[in-house]
Amino acid sequence: MISPAVNAAYDVESLRAEFPVLGEQVHGKSLVYFDNAATTQKPKQVIEAVDHYYRAYNSNVHRGAHMLSSLATEAQENAREALRAHINARRAHEVVFTAGTTASLNMAAGSLGQLLLKPGDEVLVTAMEHHANIVPWQFACERHGAKLKVVPITGEGELDLPVIPGLPRNPGLFTDQPGQAPNPGLFTDRTKILAIAHVSNTLGTINPVKELVAEAKRRGIATVVDGAQAIAHLPVDVQDLGCDLYAFSGHKMYAPTGIGVLYGREELLEQMPPWSGGGEMIDRVTFERTTYAGLPFKFEAGTPHIAGIIGLGAAVNWIESRGKEAMAAHEEALLEHATETLSAIDGLRIIGTAAKKVGVVSFVVEGVHHSDLGTLLDQQGIAVRTGHHCTQPLMQCFNITGTTRASFAPYNTIGEVDAMVAATRRAVNMLR
């Protein structure tokens, strides 16, 4: 267990100084921003990179025979290389720019569905998925006559993995039990795609993605990982994970909104049909037939969000300079302190108590509606998220309509956690 004192060398105040918005006030109170799972704040390095692009070399990319276009193209492709290194992709052209995780998952579902799914096939998701990793697969299943199947969860908010053949409760080797006939469980000979969240946006649960991907690969199943909530908190090595596709957003990792990535294993991307058509993604167009550009441009139709890409590259450089491991240790201390102090409030129940979590704590309070609690916290300067967090099926598993969710970032402090807990106590006393 990491106590606040263990990470005493971590200079959170120096880091906070890099985020201008943290000096703002809300309702006359100093801002305490605990809505980081929805979107993170942006450091000066990112803001200045975007500003400099618009002020100094605003231009379209890959199309101009002039210096500004060359500068913009170089900045964009430098960002692509920075992302390649950050997630340890083999090649820069395995990094496809999108509008965000939702766009990435829609592309994955649409293109993979067209490539792989036939009537009677199955797509496997989990009960803790964000709607963005459910609805696109429902579209694909409806379009191709396939079926969506769901891995259930436990009361602690972990995947109920024994339903998968040979998968122990504590993930280890994925082999069928000696002397027993293989049990198809949720993986069957019709399962063609596994789509799974690396980290739950509502519960903070870290799923055993590497082990699940290995089992899927053994069975010839394509794997898609929603990394939106993992990318800012965990080291992400796509080669080590072994997944075919990995999706994430820039705005969850200190970059602008409207920009994201779909990493794809080169061999699979080459087989996948493009999902959007237009300029840039073509090789040659005639009215009779169109041929497509090579990777990654085959999947990048139209003018990209150039400023967002440059900002994303700056965010990656900022993360690398600060060190994800040190930031994660600080977030773990915040999570443990928040879990302990919130749990002491009478009638408060934390939803999601997995053994492995990132800095997310969702909770309900007996007799108190989450929306009312969120409103009173806001009046005290505390920014949290309330509702179903785009995980309505997950809420149904816990028989609740929503939670109050506090999610932490490396610029948050133990003092802010204490302020939230005190504000929650006051709000609960007012609402009961």
* Per-residue pLDDT, 432: 87
pLDDT given at position 286: 87
284 vs 385, residue with greater confidence: 385
How many Å from the N-terminal Cα to the C-terminal Cα in the chain?
Answer: 34
Q: Which runs of consecutive H residues, i.e. helices, occur in 57-155?
A: 67-87, 101-116, 135-144
112 pLDDT tier (thresholds 50, 70, 90): very high
How high is the pLDDT of residue 63?
77
Which pLDDT belongs to residue 407?
A: 98
Does the domain formed by 50-321 have CATH 3.30.70.20?
A: no
- Amino acid 283: pLDDT: 80
Contacts of 312 (CB under 8 A, 6+ apart): 79, 83, 250, 253, 255, 256, 259, 261
pLDDT in tens, 276-319: 988 888 888 889 988 888 899 999 999 999 999 999 999 999 99
Across 99-104, average pLDDT: 98
* Predicted local distance difference test score (pLDDT) of residue 5: 42
Contacts of 338 by beta carbon, 8 Å cutoff, 6+ apart: 361, 406, 408, 417, 420, 421
Q: Which amino acid is at 280?
A: E
CATH 3.90.1150.10 residue spans of the chain? 4-30+323-431
Residue with tokens 């006393």: 429
Rounded Cα distance between 242 and 265, Å, is 9
Cα 123 vs. chain centroid, distance in angstroms?
A: 20
Q: Is residue 168 over pLDDT 90?
A: no
Least confident window among 127-131, 174-178, 219-223, 322-326: 174-178
Range list of β-strands (E), 127-265: 147-151, 191-197, 222-226, 245-249, 260-264
Within 13 Å of residue 2, how many CA atoms lie on the same side as its CB? 18
Tens of pLDDT, residue by residue over 64-78, are 789 999 999 999 999
Q: What is the pLDDT of residue 196?
A: 98
Give me the pLDDT at residue 8, please: 61
- When pLDDT is cut at 50, 70 and 90, the band that residue 185 belongs to is low
Query: What digits encode the pLDDT tens for the residues 333-367?
Result: 999 999 999 999 999 999 999 999 999 999 999 99
Q: Quick one: pLDDT band at residue 182, thresholds 50, 70, 90? A: very low
62: DSSP letter: S
Neighbouring-strand partners of residue 263: 95, 246
Q: State the pLDDT confidence band at 2, using cuts at 50, 70 and 90.
A: very low
**Domain range 4-30+323-431, CATH architecture:** Alpha-Beta Complex (3.90)
Judged by phi (left if over 0) then psi (alpha if -120 to 50, else beta), residue 26 lies in beta
The segment(s) of the chain belonging to CATH 3.40.640.10 are 50-321
Among 141, 243, 390, 397, which one carries the catalytic annotation?
390
| Residue 267 backbone dihedrals phi, psi, to 5 degrees | -60, -35
> Taking the mean position of all CA atoms in its chain, how far away is CA 246?
10
176: its two tokens: 């069928």
Q: What tens digit of pLDDT does each residue of 238-263 get?
A: 999 999 999 999 999 999 999 999 99
Active site residue 397: no
Amino acid identity of residue 65, one-letter, is A
Please tell me which residue, 176 or 82, carries the higher pLDDT value. Answer: 82
**If you average pLDDT over every residue of the chain, what do you get?**
92
pLDDT of residue 172: 32
Q: What is the pLDDT of residues 7-20, one digit of tens each?
A: 567 999 999 999 99
